[in-house]
Chain A
Amino acid sequence: GDSVTQMEGPVTLSEEAFLTINCTYTATGYPSLFWYVQYPGEGLQLLLKATKADDKGSNKGFEATYRKETTSFHLEKGSVQVSDSAVYFCALSGGRNDMRFGAGTRLTV
């Protein structure tokens, strides 16, 4: 079945450092891909999404490009801030209206 694998954390960075969180997926068909962010004690918030190959999702300085050839959707940010400290989840949605999530990566800045 469909699945998502993301890099294990935790990730600890200094302020203004470059962030990459790797995410790869396995899916049949053409899923949409998402990044969600979860702050302590809260639910998940949609950070960005991409619906087809080569699409780039972006929001609040974060970017991710849907790479079908490598089945990847890595999250990047050029300069992290303390306020970016959170848990980040990669997810995919295929044709069944359900969503598969990665295990989450905790970022501490």
Chain B
Amino acid sequence: DGGITQSPKYLFRKEGQNVTLSCEQNLNHDAMYWYRQDPGQGLRLIYYSQIVNDFQKGDIAEGYSVSREKKESFPLTVTSAQKNPTAFYLCASSNYRVGGNQPQHFGDGTRLSIL
């Protein structure tokens, strides 16, 4: 079955450490997204990519970095510059169409906590 796989499900970060969250999709989607979800809040866009080797900042990109070397993969690195990284991180993908309006499909998330 096609879908989006995020790993690990739980991740712990030490002070001053960078950590990388994995996101892989086999839906043949062009566009991929990273969101942050805090308790009781909606989703906030961190980064998105509409094509391989290209990505754009979302609303809260500071302290995060991404790469898009393959269509199927869009890893997110939470750097030490992100001072409040504890959150639930969701990866999504969609078809890319001129004019937008495509639904996004989500992985099951990674919960990141500080040690």
Q: Give me the interface of A with B, judged by CB distance under 8 Å.
A: 31-32, 34, 36, 41-46, 49, 51, 89, 93-99, 101-104
The 24 listed contacts between A and B (C-beta, < 8 Å) are A32-B100, A32-B102, A43-B92, A43-B106, A43-B107, A43-B109, A44-B104, A45-B106, A89-B42, A93-B101, A93-B102, A93-B103, A94-B100, A95-B101, A96-B100, A97-B31, A97-B94, A97-B96, A97-B100, A98-B33, A98-B48, A99-B33, A103-B41, A104-B42
Q: Give me the interface of B with A, judged by CB distance under 8 Å.
A: 4, 6, 31, 33, 40-43, 45, 48, 50, 58, 90, 92, 94, 96-97, 99-109
Question: Which residues of the other chain, A, contact B48 by a CB distance below 8 angstroms?
Answer: 98
Known: A89-B43, A101-B43, A103-B42. A46 touches B100 (CB 8 A): no
